[in-house]
């Protein structure tokens, strides 16, 4: 078969089952593609030996008739997931040389299902960023270009390497993590599909922590069907994660009928932001019309505490980050600074963390330490937690009225140029998460679906937010939207 790398998970799975190709052939194709795509800087630790071993084992399973849906399918793993014996750095200098002796639950679930790991993918340092410009490995480049321009664009963040690799056909799919939009925003910027499941649906064990009450793993794929296939393989109850939900994992793919007749879709008035580009407004209106034409009932809803979501998020997330990142001290693993004569343990901590953490991580650790300090804990952190409860209640109240899903834009713009936000106030960068952070604060599932292009030919996406634990229903609504939108655009290969 030609163009093996252009397939998605479902197409490759079916080709493997029909004997039209093998996992070894697929894997070799992708390894060759990765070799020629260094300009994108998406893959940072390649694992060809592991990939070929897994591919041969997968071919044997398929031949024996023991083949789960993901068996034999080559994917990329975000550098935030610990992979046994493979560098797992969270794109940070402070974890330079760290090779875990254990496997994250999510990657183990995928490998148990027969998936093939091509390598580790670039990301923002410790998942802190919206443009993949904070990585110790350097910037990831979006495979898309503006019309008639050679400007290098961001793939979004923090899962920028995953998004770029999937959009450029360097892997069939990839794992991502989402703390405030880090799956959905880069998926939107690169014209792929990304779903953040309900908090607790995927185990966090073995995933390097940013903000523990917000982090959630999910798949980044070429379409909704692929997202359903991969999500099922990633999910599980895990007794090693105290926040893991002991719930059965449904067959998400079997729930993709495309029939949403009788479903109620809410349109929140608070998401109509001042200064929102006309193209985003039009995309949202078009998506609303598509769902209505598919038989859904459209209702206006109110989520009154939305305006407080971004400030609440940027208190809670840095607070949890400052606590989680306190473990990186140069004592047990990772980078340790060279000390001068007479330096004590305090100097070792200070020098190690100054050298190991990049500016964005340092900024968030300092903010988090400040809001948790004596005299400010109640004024900032506890107040943000109370706001978070109100935001969740907004969603609960809306769903209680019979709303099945909520439609919003995924991002406030298309992908911007690398370096274009370099001199901007950090808050301007944080505004990229304005449509996505509420979903994490409320622990809900959310999915970004490509639905059009802007005047420069760059992809734009819509977001659907679902009820907790009802990813199957959310995926089906997304499937209906995907079919109606008919998005098929691909980046022109320049790398």
Residue 2 Cα distances to 20, 26, 226, 336, angstroms = 11, 10, 20, 48
User: Catalytic residue at 131?
Assistant: no
Phi/psi for 97 (5° steps) reads 85, -5
Determine how many CB atoms are found less than 10 A away from the CB of residue 393. Answer: 14
Strand partners, 446: 196, 465
Residue 237 tokens read as 């109850």
Phi/psi for 468 (5° steps) reads -60, 135
From 23, 135, 182, 244, the catalytic residue: 182
Q: Distance between CA 323 and CA 271 in Å, rounded? A: 32
**Residues whose CB falls within 8 Å of the CB of residue 469, separated by 6 or more in sequence, listed in order:** 198, 201, 245, 247, 445
Q: What is the DSSP string of 158-187?
A: SSHHHHHHHHTTSSSEEEEEESSSTTHHHH
C-beta of residue 154 within 8 angstroms of C-beta of residue 189: yes
**Residues whose CB falls within 8 Å of the CB of residue 444, separated by 6 or more in sequence, listed in order:** 198, 199, 395, 465, 466, 467, 468
Residue 196 Cα distances to 29, 67, 304, 447, 448, angstroms = 29, 26, 23, 6, 9
State whether the Cα torsion 146-447-169-97 is positive or negative. positive
Number of H helices, E strands in the chain: 15, 11
C-beta of residue 204 within 8 angstroms of C-beta of residue 239: no
From 88, 107, 135, 158, the catalytic residue: 158
- The torsion of the CA quartet 241, 210, 172, 166, rounded to 10 degrees, works out to 160
**Residues whose CB falls within 8 Å of the CB of residue 398, separated by 6 or more in sequence, listed in order:** 266, 301, 302, 303, 406
Residue 240 tokens read as 């090693």
C-beta of residue 132 within 8 angstroms of C-beta of residue 42: no
User: Catalytic residue at 158?
Assistant: yes
Residue 254 tokens read as 């079997």
From 23, 78, 120, 467, the catalytic residue: 78
**Residues whose CB falls within 8 Å of the CB of residue 468, separated by 6 or more in sequence, listed in order:** 198, 443, 444, 445
User: Catalytic residue at 373?
Assistant: no
| DSSP H/E element including 317 | helix 309-324
Q: Which DSSP letter does residue 374 get?
A: T
Catalytic positions are 78, 158, 182
């Amino acid at each position: 078969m030609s163009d093996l790398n252009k397939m998605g998970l479902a197409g490759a799975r079916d080709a493997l089952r029909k004997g039209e190709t093998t996992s070894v052939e697929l894997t070799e194709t992708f390894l060759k593609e990765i070799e020629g795509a260094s300009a994108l800087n998406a893959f940072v630790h390649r694992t060809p030996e592991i990939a070929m071993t897994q591919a041969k084992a997968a071919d044997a399973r398929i031949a024996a008739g023991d083949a789960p849906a993901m068996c034999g399918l080559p994917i990329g793993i975000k550098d935030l997931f610990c992979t046994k014996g493979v560098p797992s750095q969270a794109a940070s200098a402070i974890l330079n040389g760290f090779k875990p002796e254990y496997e994250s639950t999510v990657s183990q679930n995928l490998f148990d299902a027969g998936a093939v790991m091509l390598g580790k993918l670039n990301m923002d340092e410790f998942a802190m960023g919206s443009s993949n410009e904070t990585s110790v490995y350097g910037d990831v480049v979006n495979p898309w270009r503006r019309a008639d321009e050679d400007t290098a664009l961001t793939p979004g963040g923090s899962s920028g390497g995953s998004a770029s690799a999937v959009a450029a056909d360097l892997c069939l799919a990839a794992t991502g993590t989402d703390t405030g939009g880090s799956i959905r925003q880069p998926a939107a910027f690169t014209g792929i599909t990304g779903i953040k499941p309900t908090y607790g649906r995927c185990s966090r064990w073995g995933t390097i922590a940013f903000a523990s009450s917000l982090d959630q793993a999910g798949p980044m794929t070429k379409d909704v069907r692929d997202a359903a296939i991969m999500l099922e393989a990633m999910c599980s109850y895990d007794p090693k994660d105290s926040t893991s939900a002991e719930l059965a994992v449904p067959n998400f793919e079997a729930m993709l009928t495309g029939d949403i007749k009788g479903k109620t879709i809410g349109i929140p008035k608070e998401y109509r932001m001042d200064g929102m580009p006309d193209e985003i407004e039009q995309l949202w209106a078009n998506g609303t019309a598509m769902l209505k034409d598919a038989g859904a009932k459209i209702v206006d809803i109110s989520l009154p505490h939305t305006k407080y979501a971004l400030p609440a998020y940027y208190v809670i997330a840095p607070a949890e980050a400052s606590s989680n990142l306190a473990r990186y001290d140069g004592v047990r693993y990772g980078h340790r600074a060279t000390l001068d004569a007479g330096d004590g343990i305090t100097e070792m901590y200070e020098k190690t963390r100054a050298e190991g953490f990049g500016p964005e991580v340092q900024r968030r650790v300092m903010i988090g330490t400040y809001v948790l300090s004596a005299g400010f804990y109640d004024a900032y952190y506890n107040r943000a937690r109370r706001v978070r409860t109100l935001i969740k209640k907004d969603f609960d109240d809306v769903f209680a009225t019979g709303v099945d899903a909520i439609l919003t834009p995924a991002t406030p713009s298309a992908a911007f140029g690398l370096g274009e936000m370099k001199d901007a106030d950090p808050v301007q960068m944080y505004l990229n998460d304005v449509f996505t952070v509420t979903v994490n604060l409320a622990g809900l599932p959310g999915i970004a679906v490509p639905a059009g292009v802007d005047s420069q030919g760059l992809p734009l996406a819509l977001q659907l937010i679902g009820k907790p634990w009802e990813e199957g229903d959310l995926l089906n609504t997304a499937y209906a939207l995907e079919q109606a939108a008919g998005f098929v655009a691909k980046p022109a290969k320049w790398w």
